[in-house]
Structure 1
Amino acid sequence: MGCTPDELRRWLPGASGGRAVAWRADGADVRIGGGRLHLDWQVLPPRRIASIVLPRLQVRFDFDDVGADERRGFMRFFDLYTHRGGG
């Protein structure tokens, strides 16, 4: 993802649709129905394009006891919520 850990922490409560979030040092757990999403992240070197420097974060999504339809719905909402606009 093109963000910093602090940005992802700010976005996650809204991006998870208001679900309960339990924070960890480099991750979070989100309750989805009777299951959970375990998010883990690691900072990557920034992407440099000419004089532009973009942060990068490797994010792992690990769903536990979450059905396929719920996963797809969560990821669609998360993806739309975290998109950044551009000109």
Structure 2
Amino acid sequence: MQADYPASFERDTAGTEAEWLLRLSGACGACAVCVEGVGATVAIGTGRLFLSWSELPPRRIALMCMPRMTVGFRFEGVTDEVRQAFMRYFDLYMQRGGG
């Protein structure tokens, strides 16, 4: 999780597109999500979040191979306070780990 989320940024994420799509609506909470191709629009109040993604070459560490993607985030018409709260929830929901 980041300390601050700008109105537009990109991320390198682990996982496949299928895994991303399975978690996406849950990560957006009660906000409406419309997926079209390799992008999505999330309605956040009177504003929008535009998401775009593409697969990257897998990350290889020794014999381990991890799929990954790049994801672009672009908020329009969303206040800083709402954007920060949305992204904190989004990141916590998308967080994966073992233990």
Same fold (TM over 0.5): yes
Partner of 1:12: 24
Give the deviation of 1:86 after TM superposition: 2.1
Flag the structure with more relative contact order, 1 or 2, with Cα contacts below 8 A and sequence separation at least 6: 2
Output aligned runs, 1:63-82, within 5 Å. 63-82=75-94
Output aligned runs, 1:1-87, within 5 Å. 1-87=13-99
Give deviations 1:2-49, integer Å, cap 9, x for gaps. 011111111011000131111110010000010000000010000001
Name the amino acid aligned to 2:73.
Answer: F
Name the amino acid aligned to 1:25.
Answer: G
TM-score by length of 1: 0.95
Give the deviation of 1:85 after TM superposition: 1.3
Distance in 1 separating the partners of 2:22 and 2:30: 12
Paired residue total: 87
- Provide structure 1 residue ranges, at least 5 long, that are not aligned to the other structure: none
TM-score by length of 2: 0.84
Fraction of identical pairs, as percent? 49
Distance in 1 separating the partners of 2:30 and 2:81: 18
After TM superposition, the runs of 4+ consecutive aligned structure 1 residues lying more than 3 A away are none
- Provide structure 2 residue ranges, at least 5 long, that are not aligned to the other structure: 1-12
